[in-house]
Structure 1
Amino acid sequence: MSLDNISHLGAQGPDELVPSRYAVQVGAIEVLVISDGVLPITASTLATNVEATELAHWLDDNFLPPEVVDWPLNVVVVRSGDRTILVDAGLGLEFPDFPRAGQTVQRLEAAGVDLASVTDVVLTHMHMDHVGGLLTQGLKERLRPDLRVHASTAEAEFWDAPDFSRTTMPQPIPDVLRRVASQFLDEYRSQLWTFETEYEVAPGVLVTRTGGHTPGHSVVRLASGSDKLTFAGDAVFAPGFDNPEWHNGFEHDPDEAARVRVRLLSELAATGESLVATHLPFPSVCRVAAAGDVFRCVPAVWDY
């Protein structure tokens, strides 16, 4: 895994204008943010508990289209000690309606990450854009037979009989989420390592259940020396900085998700540690600043 962020003219593949990977050093821990691409999402899904005019104003202020927006997808590779950890696995290739997503496998390879070197996968939750990459045809045979897949017990139990009653997702997404999670559990249950509240996957790599977005949603906290970074999964979306109480349509407990978001952003603003999240624009690395009752995402200066 290379920590070289330098772009060499002509070195990228034919489908990339710039490399879709970005490396960060967290003390002795190596972190590589990988873009899985973008997928289109109905804009109204970003804020289901506010008037349409309020959301429209926010979209316009952020130079986003009013009906359908591109939702970035980021995954992370972490190397600590003798463990190489993939945090989330992207969308996978079985969704032809989303041709610009599902790029994780080829982009891991382009970044020099040998799939057979991955010792652990940590799942923030089991939505299709986080587990689908593991279901890519022929992929499982390329992974280590002793691969450990980590998820909270509450998450695994939820998807045995998921409840979508408090979500506001476009059809047929709920049925697709149910099918993909069921397929994932069928294929990987024997390799699943579950935890109740938190689990240290490797030195300085702690996965902690937050709940909210899904009952077992988790974040990954990295700490080495004085450096810290949090991969927040779907605890934070772009509108959630200046509108942390807005509900996202994919949240299975919207009120709890808002509480989780405020707690996490308040903590990150107090500590000054770095934040990466699944659906923030690539490479997503930023710090959080508090501004009264709301927050600001302060992008990190890229290191070339």
Structure 2
Amino acid sequence: MKQMIRNTQQETNMSLDTTADPITSGPEELVPSRYALKVGDIDVLVVSDGVLPLPTQMLGHNANPADRAAWLKDMFLPQDAFDWALNVVVVRSGGKTILIDAGLGSDPDLNLPRAGQLIKRLEAAGIDRGSVTDLVLTHMHMDHIGGLLVEGVKERLRKDLRIHVAAAEVKFWEAPDFSHTSMPQGFPDALRSAAKRFVSEYGSNLRTFEEEHEIAPGVVVRRTGGHTPGHSVVRVASGGDGLTFAGDAVFIVGFEQPDWHNGFEHDPEEAARVRVRLLRDLAKSGEMLVATHLPFPSIGRVAADGEAFRFVPVFWDY
């Protein structure tokens, strides 16, 4: 399957851009924060929203601490906390510009200065947020909706912006259940507040679906549940190529330890079942995977490894 992967640090005039002027990273951007590829005839751009430092226990709060410590050591990761990537995706298909998830935004009470970079990085990529016709939410956790709650952002969005989200997700946040999660202090309140505010500000833009919905030619969102009741994934397919943006269905430890429960999962056992089904499907199809919290640019494929899996990153093409 022929891939056409391009690094936008060299090719900034991709069709997603709305300006012909070359864009270069500022001195504070020491590494690329966006990566472009083609899925058949569809343009896809992965954009980093920054990183989110979280306790390592959240990778598998049901795991034996010694097993978790051994996995972290094998991955050359610190034992206490490390940076989770935050990735979003922009897709251009059928005359539509589709943003999949909206990043963290800013919450001064949580003190996360290295996250919430989406708006400035969209601008650096030459993407005017006013050109976005559709937003797809994999779910309504704060790190997927917060970018649209930043002061001054809404005023530059299209008035007719369509925000696609599973009906079960909207219903869940009317009275969310955190009894099976394992989050740091302050996060449940911040998540409740962000979801409530998002529905208040963007309720008229919401376009809910039950199980599956085609956003544009070759771009389909499908509810999986698990992580949250309305958690969804987005598959982009064209010309025999395919890519799935898995949202929070898959974390970096989930390949080798798919049964480990993540602290943000509202139904951890169902989330594990969803994860295994998704990884099996991707291992069988050979299609590409991108996920919110896999290391940027997070583009890879899945290989089956007995009862577990391996993440196989794509080779960067410069």
Matched, 1:131 2:145: yes
Q: Is the 8 A contact 1:168 1:250 kept in 2?
A: yes
Q: Structure 1 residues 89-98 or 216-225, which shifts more? A: 89-98
Following TM superposition, by how much is the alpha carbon of 1:169 offset from its aligned partner in structure 2, in angstroms? 1.1
Which of 188, 194, 203 is the matching residue for 1:189?
203
Which of 262, 286, 289 is the matching residue for 1:272?
286
Matched, 1:16 2:29: yes
Task: Name the counterpart of 2:238.
Answer: 224
Unaligned runs of 5+ in 2: 1-5, 12-22
For residues 168-220 of structure 1, what are the alpha-carbon distances to aligned partners after superposition, in whole Å with 9 as ceiling and x for unaligned? Answer: 11111111110110011110011000000000000000000000000000000
Matched, 1:28 2:41: yes
Matched, 1:156 2:170: yes
**Partner Cα separation in structure 1 for residue 237 and residue 284 of structure 2:** 16
Q: Is the 8 A contact 2:133 2:162 kept in 1?
A: yes
> What SS is found at the alignment partner of 1:201?
strand
Which of 85, 90, 94 is the matching residue for 1:77?
90
Identity %: 65
Following TM superposition, by how much is the alpha carbon of 1:6 offset from its aligned partner in structure 2, in angstroms? 4.0
Q: Is the 8 A contact 1:92 1:132 kept in 2?
A: yes
> What SS is found at the alignment partner of 1:70?
strand
Point out 4+ residue stretches in structure 1 off by more than 6 angstroms. Answer: none
Task: Name the counterpart of 1:43.
Answer: 56
**Partner Cα separation in structure 2 for residue 92 and residue 269 of structure 1:** 33
* Equivalences for residues 1-304 of structure 1 within 5 A: 5-7=8-10, 11-95=24-108, 97-304=111-318
Q: Is the 8 A contact 1:46 1:247 kept in 2?
A: yes
**Partner Cα separation in structure 2 for residue 19 and residue 116 of structure 1:** 23
Q: TM-score of the superposition, structure 1-length normalised?
A: 0.97
For residues 86-126 of structure 1, what are the alpha-carbon distances to aligned partners after superposition, in whole Å with 9 as ceiling and x for unaligned? Answer: 00010002336111000000000100111110000000000
Q: Is the 8 A contact 1:94 1:136 kept in 2?
A: no
Q: Is the 8 A contact 1:34 1:74 kept in 2?
A: yes
Following TM superposition, by how much is the alpha carbon of 1:7 offset from its aligned partner in structure 2, in angstroms? 4.2
Corresponding pairs, count: 302
Task: Name the counterpart of 2:19.
Answer: none
Following TM superposition, by how much is the alpha carbon of 1:4 offset from its aligned partner in structure 2, in angstroms? 5.1
**Partner Cα separation in structure 1 for residue 244 and residue 214 of structure 2:** 14
Following TM superposition, by how much is the alpha carbon of 1:45 offset from its aligned partner in structure 2, in angstroms? 0.7
Q: What is the RMSD of the two structures over their aligned residues, measured on CA atoms?
A: 1.4
**Partner Cα separation in structure 2 for residue 275 and residue 298 of structure 1:** 10
Q: TM-score of the superposition, structure 2-length normalised?
A: 0.93
